[in-house]
Structure 1
Amino acid sequence: MLQELSIHNFAIIDELSLSLDKGLTVLTGETGAGKSIIIDAISLLIGGRGSAEFVRHGEKKAEIEGLFLLDNPNHPCYQKAEELGIDIEDGMIVLRREISTSGKSVCRINGKLVTISILREIGASLVDIHGQHEHQELLNPALHLQLLDEFAGKELEKAKMSYQELYEQYVKTKQRISQLSENEQEMAHRLDLIQFQLNEIQSADLQLNEDEKLLNEKRKLSNYEKLYEAITTSYDGLQGEGKGLDWVGLVMSYLETAAELDSEYEPVYKNVSNAYYMLEDAARQISGEMDTIEFDPNRLNEIEARLNEINLLKRKYGQSIEEILEYGAKIEEEIETLTHKETRLEDLEKKLASIKQDLLLEAKNLSNLRKKWAETLTEAIHHELKQLYMDKTVFEIRFLPVEEDTFHKDGIDQVEFYISTNPGEPLKPLAKVASGGELSRIMLALKTIFSSHQGVTSIIFDEVDTGVSGRVAQAIGEKIYQVSVQSQVLCISHLPQVAAMADTHLYISKETDEGRTRTSVKPLEYEEKVKEIGRMISGVEMTTLTKQHAKELLDLAKSIKQV
């Protein structure tokens, strides 16, 4: 859910902070007070199109920030954030967007700079804004199959995974056949190229970690004089008459005498004795190293030449010797395939035919499951429409004809939602339903069903109740509340029936101060709700009858919520 929203210097809003709760939040107020501006701000926050015109006059930039809480540990936002390298701690995700007067946007998710496309991708999984005149997800035929699959749930998901595993093999095999069936001349050129590359890699006779060993040896040879001086000086300081070992040996001898006279000196004698023998052993090792250290300028030249050869191969075939060898193995396999292309093609064609046969069975099983769930979904939508006084409306999920054996990543089906709102009228695609009032109710019926399947944390309805009244308005209010049980809902409304159903009622107003207009938001208590709902019922004048009607609406809403 969207818990906190902060807006600065956006349109007529100078500074606004909102704390939002679960359930249904209704925003009401006079026309032009700034209700839709708040929704516009949220739209920009989740990746909507920005413009310098949104920046409040006289300011340098507009800033919008929102804190979202993710209650569901399996929310799709987690996976998307992980893919993008964004950390989500304690189920909190903060979106931030700044728009300057130059039109430039700066987007951040949990403090990390992101592109507008990434912000839009994350935002789409958090908020769904539905306005009366917008082309929404439910009106997009390309997404109808996805919505049907989400409604079907785990039963269909399992069948879909089985299909997609085979589909991936099918696509890869087709691609391999296509590659082997390319122009003969191009294939010959390709074979010559990779054969040359393989010869170059094999003739180098590379060994794993060879470059690291050569660099170490090069470092020793390049610093021969410093190394030799350090070793010989160390040895000279330890070994010889009057040097380190002689003095330590003398101290050891005196301490041995002291320890024989007083046992308290036994520990320090042992420490010095151990140190002497360790130093003696070190002197022997240094002496051995002195015999092996020698400067060979020819060897240094050999190392330089070998490293240059390895670096040249790295520039061509990989960033490490391991990657070069892996590339060599890969093209060696490709050479084998191209050399015996006809045989390989025949094998791949047989493999493809076998996969295709299995894939068709999985696809038909998936399609049959979809048709079964389509019937269930159709019944559910008819039920919702009936509650919205559209009992004459006919809804249908059509499986569109496709070419035989035309597979795609989701199966062989193409579906689209069709509807007829009047008896005797033909069914038409949902996207072509024109009436604003009817479209609002249809969309609300679909939202009621799909909101629990889509995982969106917040749903915003921007004046979707326009063009309705009376009992339909009451039904819409109840239906919006029903959606809010599954997802947080923010709703701009001019209907008192919808406002009465609110768990939180925010009143939006504007005022003029020192020649500037600014928007403010006030949460309403019970008596204030009565007054505002009364204003929505009768307009400006508040009569005793209007007040009584407003209280009746609130009492009715309370009783509906308790059911």
Structure 2
Amino acid sequence: MLAELSIKNFAIIESLTVSFEKGLTVLTGETGAGKSIIIDAVHLLAGARGSSEFVRFGEKRAELEALFLMDDDKHPVYNKCDEFGIDISDGMIILRRDLSATGKSICRINGKLVTIAVLREVGQYLVDVHGQHDNQELMNEENHINLLDQYGGKKIKTALENYFDVYRNFDTLQKKIIQLSENEQEMAHRLDLLQFQLEEIEGAELQPKEDELLTEEKNQISNYEKVYESLQNSYSALHGEQRGLDWVGHAMSNLENVGSINKTLQDLSETISNAYYMLEDISYQVRNELESLEFDPERLNFVESRLNEINTLKRKYGQSVEEILTYSAKIEEEIDTIKNKDSHLYKLQKELDSILEDLSIEAKNVTSIRKNFAEVLIDEIHQELKELYMEKTTFDVNISLKQTSGQQVKYTANGADDVEFFISTNPGEPLKSLSKTASGGELSRIMLAMKSIFSQHQGITSIIFDEVDTGVSGRVAQAIAEKIYRVSNGSQVLCITHLPQVAAMADTHLYIAKETSSGRTKTSVKPLKEEEKIREIGRMIAGVEVTELSKQHAKELLSLAHTSKG
């Protein structure tokens, strides 16, 4: 759940910290007080597109921060955070986003810098924002298949995964066939280019790890003088009269003379003897290295020239000799494919036909599961719509096969189905596409009906409704209020509303107000106590002036809400 939201220098909000509780929280207040601005802040923290226009006038940046508390350590957001290397401790997730007046945006999750894309990936598991314009998801028929699959949950997901394993191979083969079927002129140009590249790489006669070995050799030759001087000085320090080995030898002889006196002296004598012979052996190794050193300027020129040649190839074909050789093998295979295009096309087509059989089976399985879930969804939607006084409305899910212009089945990464929601809001009228039929008020109720169902399958911790109840009143408003409250039983719900019926159902009621101070507008948030709730709901009923009658009506609404909650 969203536990706390902190906003600073965002739109008309100078500084604001709001705590939220479980259940249903409603936000009410006069138009323009800043209710939707608070929801905009949450939306941005969930990865929505930002703008410098959100930064409060005269300030350099806006700062947004939200704390989410996770009760379930099996929640999918844990896997998503783990995927991006984000640590979750004590079940807390903190989203932070800074928007600068220059348009730049900085995002963090639990202190770790992330991109907006990552913020959006994680945010989608934490909060789901629905506003007046978010009904566009229902209006866009391309989203209908995603909503159905979301409803189908694990069964459809598993079927799609099995399908996609086959589709991936199918798609790769299709692309190869299309590439080989390009016009002759393009293929000829491609062949010339590949042959030139292959000849250039083969002409260099590269050896594995050659660049690394040559670089090491160049380093040794270039540092000849430094190495020679160091070896010479080391050897001189060890060998010769009055040098290191000479003095260690004196120490060894003296200790040998007294070693038989006691065990301690004997151990010291043996230790220094071992050290002497070890140093002597090292001095011989240093001498051998010194004698083997040879400065060859011609070899250095060759090494540098060869490295330049390899670096030129690296700029074209790969970052290492291994990558260049891998690329060489790849284009050699492509050259063979182009030269023997017809036989390769025949072979690829046979492979494609074989995979197509498996793909068709998997696609039919996905379609079958979708149709089964569509039937269940239709029944549940009808029940939800009935409770929203749309009992005469008929809802249907149309599932048809995608087809190419040649009337063949068209397979995509999401299967072979077109899914579209149809509706008839009046008896006797034919079913028509939802995107072309429903009015604004009807869409709000249909969306709420679907959200009542989908919220049980999504695992979202917080759902936000931003004036989704616009355009309804009377008994429909009461039904919507009860429906929103029911959604809050499975997920925390924040709801901006102008309906007194919805406000009466709230577990927590927050009043949003704005005031002007020193010529600047500020927004404040206040949790309402029981008497304040009555007055605010009375204002929502009566308008500006709150009368005793409206307050009485508010009390009745609160009493009815209490009864409805059970």
Residue 458 of structure 2 aligns to which amino acid in structure 1?
Answer: Q
The structure 2 residue matched to 1:516, chosen from 510, 517, 520, is 520
1:233-382 equivalence runs, <5 A = 233-382=233-382
Write the distance in 2 (CA, Å) between the matches of 1:51 and 1:234: 67
Q: Is the 8 A contact 1:46 1:95 kept in 2?
A: no
Per-residue CA deviation, residues 254-289 of structure 1 (Å, 9 max, x unaligned), is 122233334433333233222111111111211221
Letter in 1 for 2:105: V
**SS of residue paired to 1:399:** strand
The equivalent residue for 2:446 is 442
Distance 2:232 2:149 in 1: 79
d(CA) in 1 for partners of 2:299, 2:133 = 79
Choose 48-57 or 274-283, whichever is displaced more.
48-57
Which region of structure 1 is more displaced relative to structure 2, 201-210 or 11-20? Answer: 201-210
> More deviation in 74-83 or 385-394?
74-83
Which shifted more, 345-354 or 176-185?
176-185
Q: Deviation of residue 189 (structure 1)? A: 3.0
TM-score, length-normalised on structure 2? 0.90
SS in 2 for 1:260: coil
Residues 236-265 of structure 1 show CA distances to partners (whole Å, capped at 9, x for unaligned) of 221223321111111111122233334433
- 1-structure distance, mates of 2:312, 2:51: 50
* Letter of the structure 1 residue corresponding to residue 449 of structure 2: A
Whole-angstrom distance in 2 between the partners of 1:455 and 1:139: 24
How has the CA–CA distance of structure 1 residues 402 and 222 changed in structure 2, closer, same or farther, with 3 Å as cutoff?
closer
Letter in 2 for 1:27: L
SS in 2 for 1:189: helix
Q: Which of these residues, 457, 461, 466, is aligned with residue 462 of structure 1?
A: 466
Structure-2 change in CA distance of 1:74 and 1:198 (3 Å) = farther
Q: Secondary structure at the match of 2:3?
A: strand
Matched, 1:472 2:476: yes
The equivalent of 1:198 in structure 2 is 198
SS class of match (1:164): helix
Q: Which amino acid aligns with 1:478?
A: E
C-alpha change, 1:60 and 1:93, in structure 2 (3 Å) is closer
**Equivalent pair of 1:433/1:439 in contact (CA under 8 Å):** no
Aligned partner of 2:382: which letter?
Answer: H
Give the root-mean-square deviation of aligned CA atoms: 2.7
Assess, with a 3 A threshold, how the Cα gap between structure 1 residues 524 and 401 changes in structure 2: closer, same or farther: same
Q: Which amino acid aligns with 1:92?
A: I
- Candidates 389, 414, 420, aligned match of 2:418: 414
Deviation at 1:506, TM superposition (A): 0.6
Confirm or deny: 8 A CA contact 1:170 1:352 kept in the other structure: yes
Equivalent residue, structure 2, for 1:183: 183
Bigger shift: residues 510-519 or 68-77: 68-77
Q: SS of 2:417's equivalent? A: coil
In 1, Cα distance between the equivalents of 2:526 and 2:57?
24
Evaluate the alpha carbon distance shift between residue 398 and residue 251 of structure 1 in structure 2; reply closer, same or farther with a 3 A threshold. Answer: same
Query: Hey, what does 2:431 align to over in structure 1?
Result: 427
Indicate the residue corresponding to 1:89 in structure 2.
88
**Could you tell me the percent identity over the aligned residues?**
60
TM superposition shift of 1:171: 1.0
Distance in 2 separating the partners of 1:302 and 1:93: 59
Letter of the structure 2 residue corresponding to residue 458 of structure 1? S
Residue 529 of structure 2 is matched in structure 1 by 525
Secondary structure at the residue paired with 2:14?
strand
Distance 2:140 2:72 in 1: 27
Three-state SS of the structure 2 residue aligned to 1:94 is strand
Counterpart check, 1:223 vs 2:223: yes
1:429: how far off?
A: 2.1
Q: In the aligned structure 1, how far is the partner of 2:503 from the partner of 2:41?
A: 22
Counterpart amino acid of residue 98 in structure 1:
L
Task: Tell me the CA shift for residue 194 of structure 1.
Answer: 2.1
Q: Which residue of 2 aligns with 1:106?
A: 105
| CA displacement at 1:156 relative to structure 2 | 2.1
- CA separation of 1:199 and 1:77: change in aligned 2, threshold 3 A: farther
**C-alpha contact 1:50 1:99 (8 A) present in aligned 2:** no
1:90-169 to 2 correspondence within 5 Å? Answer: 90=89, 92-100=93-101, 104-110=103-109, 123-169=123-169
Deviation at residue 389 of structure 1 after TM alignment: 1.4
- Alignment match, 2:20: 20
Distance in 2, matches of 1:92 and 1:238, equals 64
Relative to structure 1, the CA distance from residue 81 to residue 334 in structure 2 (aligned partners, 3 Å threshold; closer, same or farther) is farther
Which segment is superposed worse, 497-506 or 185-194? Answer: 185-194
Q: Give me the whole-angstrom Cα distance separating, in 2, the residues matched to 1:515 and 1:295.
A: 82
Measured at CA, do residues 149 and 95 of structure 1 come closer, stay the same or move farther in structure 2, by a change above 3 Å? same
Amino acid at match of 2:225: E
Deviation string, structure 1 residues 428-473 (Cα, Å, up to 9, x no partner): 3222345333222111101111123234333221222223333322
Q: Distance in 2 between matches of 1:50 and 1:119?
A: 12
Q: TM-score, normalised by structure 1?
A: 0.91
Whether the aligned pair in 2 keeps the contact of 1:128 and 1:456 (CA below 8 Å) is yes
Shift of 1:401: 5.6
> CA–CA distance in 2 between the matches of 1:57 and 1:291?
77
- State the distance in 2 between where 1:356 and 1:175 align: 14
Cα distance between partner residues in 2 of 1:134 and 1:153: 22
Aligned length: 558
Q: Distance in 1 between matches of 2:179 and 2:267?
A: 79
Cα distance 1:454–1:547, how it changes in 2: closer, same or farther (>3 A)? same
1:3, 1:66 within 8 Å by CA — same for their partners in 2?
yes
Which residues of structure 1 form unaligned runs of 5+?
A: none
Greater mean alpha carbon deviation, residues 403-412 or residues 142-151? 403-412
Give, in angstroms, the shift of residue 70 of structure 1.
5.2
CA contact (8 A) 1:106 1:113 kept: no
Q: CA deviation at 1:134?
A: 4.3
Q: Closer, same or farther in 2 for the Cα pair 1:186/1:70, shift >3 Å?
A: farther
Deviations 1:62-88 (A, max 9, x none): 3333334455667666676677x5634
Instruction: Provide the rounded CA distance (Å) in 1 between the counterparts of 2:316 and 2:189.
Output: 18
- Structure-2 separation of matches of 1:455 and 1:466: 26
State which drifts further: 392-401 or 195-204: 195-204
Is the contact made by 1:530 and 1:547 (CA closer than 8 Å) also made in structure 2? yes
What is the CA–CA distance in structure 2 between the aligned matches of 1:92 and 1:280, rounded to whole Å? 64
Q: How far does residue 47 in structure 1 lie from its aligned partner after superposition?
A: 4.7
Between the aligned partners of 2:240 and 2:51, the Cα distance in structure 1 is 84
Which residue in the other structure is 1:541 paired with? 546
| Residues 294 and 378 of structure 1, relative CA distance in 2, 3 Å threshold | same
Q: 1:264 to 1:123 in 2, by over 3 A?
A: closer
Maintained 8 Å contact 1:3/1:67: yes
The Cα shift of 1:144 comes to 0.5
**Conserved 8 A contact 1:461-1:491:** yes
Moved more, 314-323 or 259-268: 259-268
Cα distance in 1 for partners of 2:135, 2:100 equals: 25
> Retained in 2: the 8 A contact 1:47–1:120?
yes
1:49 deviation in Å? 5.3
Extract unaligned runs of 5+ from structure 2.
none
Q: 1:432 to 1:86 in 2, by over 3 A?
A: farther
Pairing partner for 1:491 from 477, 495, 502: 495
